[in-house]
Each structure stands twice: as structure tokens, then as C-alpha cells.
Amino acid sequence: MNLNGIAGGPQDHVRELTSWLRNRIIGQEALLERLVMALLCGGHLLVEGAPGLAKTRAIKELASAVEGDFHRIQFTPDLLPSDVTGTEVYRPQDGSFKFQPGPVFHNLLLADEINRAPAKVQSALLEAMAEHQVSFGRETFSLPELFLVMATQNPIEQEGTYPLPEAQLDRFLMHVKVDYPDAESEARILELVRSETASGTSVAIPPSRLSQATIFAARKSLLAIHMAEPVERYIVELIMATRQQTGELREWLDFGASPRGTIALDQCARSLAWLDGRDYVTPEDVQTILGDVLRHRLILSFSAEAKGVTTDDAVRALLEQVAVP
């Protein structure tokens, strides 16, 4: 069954949003698709790439086309946890203290260069990302129902960075790597920049803003996507193979993916099928998204790192070892 014919439904609105984003962000189709997938799955995105590859621009453009508010936090070594979650403010009129929410209480949050801040600040996002709430003293404050964190990290500038702990990494639905655009895309980028310069503004108005009600309806429709039992078993076998390693994986991996990896792989495969206009998941959907789901969840051994092995190498070995249904 093809779902493209549902006029005016959530899929049509999301497709319109994706098409508009592709005209605003040139040469980063995979990033845009993963960003929309994270929005549909209610997850968070970790994006890694060199400077100037439109990582910040992508989340800003998405924020302009979605009903909700947006905030950017520049992570620096001197950032404090309260700069993220909020703090108490003294009210002299009645001698009381009132909690002042921080930037984490926005719908869409850009954590720019998240590995520039120490672990104490990074962990301030843990509870917010996992439980959609912030605890301050004896009180707990709920975050908006629509809440997405896109964090960026720069792979080139290693000096002055703090590696993200495994617990923090596991909270991200996907870890996406972005690369340089090709020559054709580079030429289109020049054309877009010239057009923005000539008009005197880089802000474009989307045809319509995607409502939060539409996003929540889309999330529910993902559950209706059919996943055959062999495909579901394929997902489980892939995850189990990261824990019960054989062959090269036995030497390369110290720890495999947690159950969060299984859940994320299921959600992302469903969203990929949904975006493709299908009401069923294929093994190819699982294979397409496997690297982004497991890239940050596999812990390499010291010997593997010494040999220059990456988690992407481990994912390729994983695909070779586990039989496709």
C-alpha cells in the first residue's frame, strides 16, 4: 500500500516541509532527512562535521518551519549547568525565590559544539533528553511535549574538547556525520547566497508552518507501519551481534548497543518507510539507518582504536555477519 495519496494528511505536510528544506539547505540531503526523522520519532540528533557545512543553518531553518520556539546554546568551557537548565531568581518584593527556566525549555534546542563544555554541563542535558523534565532542588519542571535537541561537535578541533560520556551519547537517537557537498551542490550554494545577498535577507518564509498537532499525528501513524516478524527479528539479531561478538567484532568491540539501540533502530526504520510513502518496513530500511543508530553506541576496544578501526567499520562487519531475511 502506498500512503502518498492521503491528501492533506500528516505525510503531505511533512513532505512539503522536507521539500522546502532541500531548497534552503543544499547538498546535505541525508542530514535533512535524519533531522525530520528525529522530529517524527521524538528523538535527539548528534551531528558531526567540519565547520561551514550548514549544521546550524539546518536546525534554524527547521525551527522557522515548525510551530514552536527555538534557542541556541554555544557550549564553552566556562558554561555552567544553570546556563542550560535555569536557576532561581530572588524576588525582593516578597523575599522569595522563583525558578527561572533556562534555554532547555524551548521546543527546538541547538547545543552547538557540545563537547566544548565539561561533563558537568553535558550531564545537565541528560535528564532533559531522557525524561523531558528538569529537576531543581525539590521541584521537577516538565519540558514542552515537543522537544528536540540537535547537538553538533567538530571532529577537527580536538584541543579543548571533552568527549561525551557513553550515558550522554546513548540519549541521542542518531549520530550523523556530514561531509562536503559535491561540485554541483557547491554551485547551487553560491547561487543561493547571491540571491540572499541581493534580497538583503537570509531569512525565507516557509509556505506554511508544520503544526505540533500534525507532528504528534505523524508520530502515531508510525506505529501503524507494518513490520513483519522476520524484519523485527533481523533488528534484534543485529543488536545481539554487537553484544555476542564473533569474528572481527570480538576483537573490535568492548561493549555493544543497549536496548535503546534496538528501540531507536525500530523507530528510525519505521520513519524511513513512512517518509518513503510505504506502510511496511523492509530490511533495506534497517540497513540504511543502521550506521547512524549504532555509530555512537558501540564502544571500541583499545586495540581496535590503535589499529585505526572505527565504529563504521564495525557496522559494516555487522551487516556482513548477520543474515538478511
pLDDT at position 4 over 80 = no
**Band of residue 69 on the pLDDT scale cut at 50, 70, 90:** very high
Mean pLDDT of 229-233: 96
- What does the block give as the cell for 302? 583499545
**Band of residue 160 on the pLDDT scale cut at 50, 70, 90:** low
Q: Is 98 a domain residue? A: yes
3-state DSSP assignment of residue 71: strand
Confidence (pLDDT) at 1: 35
Q: Are residues 145 and 212 in contact, defined by beta-carbon separation less than 8 angstroms? A: yes
Same domain, 268 and 174: no
Same domain, 84 and 132: yes
Confidence (pLDDT) at 99: 84
C-alpha dihedral, 61 to 64 to 70 to 75, nearest 10°? 20
Q: Which domain holds residue 19?
A: 10-199
3-state DSSP assignment of residue 16: helix
Give the pairing type, strands 148-153 and 108-112. parallel
**Band of residue 246 on the pLDDT scale cut at 50, 70, 90:** confident
- Residue 242's beta-bridge partner residues? none
d(CA 220, CA 50): 35
Confidence (pLDDT) at 8: 59
> Residue 175 is inside which H or E element, if any?
strand 174-177
Same domain, 34 and 113: yes
Same domain, 180 and 235: no
Same domain, 135 and 233: no
The residue among 127 and 84 whose pLDDT is bigger is 84
d(CA 73, CA 81): 12
Q: Mind listing the pLDDT tens digit for each residue in 112-153?
A: 988 888 888 888 888 888 889 988 878 889 999 999 999 998
Same domain, 234 and 176: no
**Band of residue 213 on the pLDDT scale cut at 50, 70, 90:** very high
- What does the block give as the cell for 28? 546535505
Short-list 40, 26, 45, CA closest to 292: 45
Q: Percentage of the chain with pLDDT > 70?
A: 94
Confidence (pLDDT) at 202: 63
Would you say how long the chain is, in residues?
A: 325
Mean pLDDT of 53-62: 90
Q: Is 299 a domain residue? A: yes
pLDDT at position 91 over 90 = no
**Band of residue 156 on the pLDDT scale cut at 50, 70, 90:** low
Give the pairing type, strands 108-112 and 70-74. parallel
d(CA 204, CA 15): 18
Q: What is the DSSP letter of 178?
A: -
d(CA 98, CA 286): 47
Same domain, 164 and 289: no
3-state DSSP assignment of residue 191: helix
Total structural domains within the chain: 2
Give how far the C-alpha of residue 50 lies from the chain's centroid of Cα atoms, to the nearest Å.
17
Q: Are residues 162 and 119 in contact, defined by beta-carbon separation less than 8 angstroms? A: yes
**Band of residue 157 on the pLDDT scale cut at 50, 70, 90:** low
Q: Is 210 a domain residue? A: no
Q: Is 247 a domain residue? A: yes
Same domain, 57 and 151: yes
Q: Are residues 174 and 292 in contact, defined by beta-carbon separation less than 8 angstroms? A: yes
Mean pLDDT of 176-190: 91
Same domain, 184 and 237: no
Q: Is 280 a domain residue? A: yes
- Residues contacting residue 9 through CB under 8 Å, at least 6 positions apart: 3
